[in-house]
Amino acid sequence: MAARRIGKGRCLLCQAPATQALCRPCVAGLPGLEAGCAGCAIPLAAGAALCGRCLQRPPPWTSAAIPLRYAFPIDRLVLRFKYQGSLVAGAALAQAMLRGPQPHPPSRPWLIPVPLHWTRERWRGFNQARELALLLSAGKSWPLAPGGLLRTRRTPAQAGLGRQQRQRNLRQAFQWHGPELTGRSLLLVDDVMTTGATLRACAKALAGAGWLGIWVTARALDSNR
């Protein structure tokens, strides 16, 4: 499926002439993540591979590609995209992902957007992770997975919940409905990672894949998350 066409002409942030959603200077000025934990992208001291939390509880994925910090102006773009339906803001986020550190799957992967429950998607009118996945698919020529990851249980919103509350909230909330995953390379796509509880719950539903990575726009580094 082709990504939707996005209007172009001026940078979404500075209004300078641009051929994409953001001009090159604005992309270069976005809040990038320093080299960090291979599991959750939290910044680490030089030479360390995994943070203490990921050492104690290894993530169920092999690789995490998260190019940005969830800080201004990324937070504003995410909110415009997710809650105001701005596809131009979504294009700006995808552009930053395609210009940032890239995932390196061992074979051509299937992109799998983190799903919304169907009631929330109908109310919102779209799933922001799927829109991102469509744009990334067009940019990398990597296909969206046939079939899909479904959110089978409606759960309270994650915002404002602590780490353990988020984990309990999402227990057995996702199921894979599609072809056999054995030996497949998969990339979970989402907009923001906070505690990682949603991505972990999704990854459990994809158990059996040959390789699993996550490709997320931004990492929230707030001390409460």
Q: What is the mean pLDDT of the chain?
A: 87
Residue 80 has a pLDDT of: 94
pLDDT for 24 beyond 70? yes
**pLDDT tens sequence across 131-147:** 999 999 999 999 999 98
Determine the pLDDT at residue 162. 53
| pLDDT tens digit sequence for 63-100 | 999 999 999 999 999 999 999 999 999 999 999 999 99
Q: Hunting for tokens 């995490």 — which residue is that?
A: 64
Q: Are strands 110-113 and 185-193 parallel, antiparallel or unpaired?
A: parallel
Domain residue spans of the chain? 65-219
How confident is residue 113, by pLDDT bands cut at 50, 70 and 90?
Answer: very high
- Given the candidates 1.10.3470, 3.40.50, 3.30.420, 3.40.10, the CATH classification of the domain at 65-219 is 3.40.50
Residue 123: partners with Cβ closer than 8 Å, 6 or more residues away? none
Q: What integer is the mean pLDDT of 54-59? A: 91
What pLDDT does 35 receive?
Answer: 74
What pLDDT score does 81 carry?
95
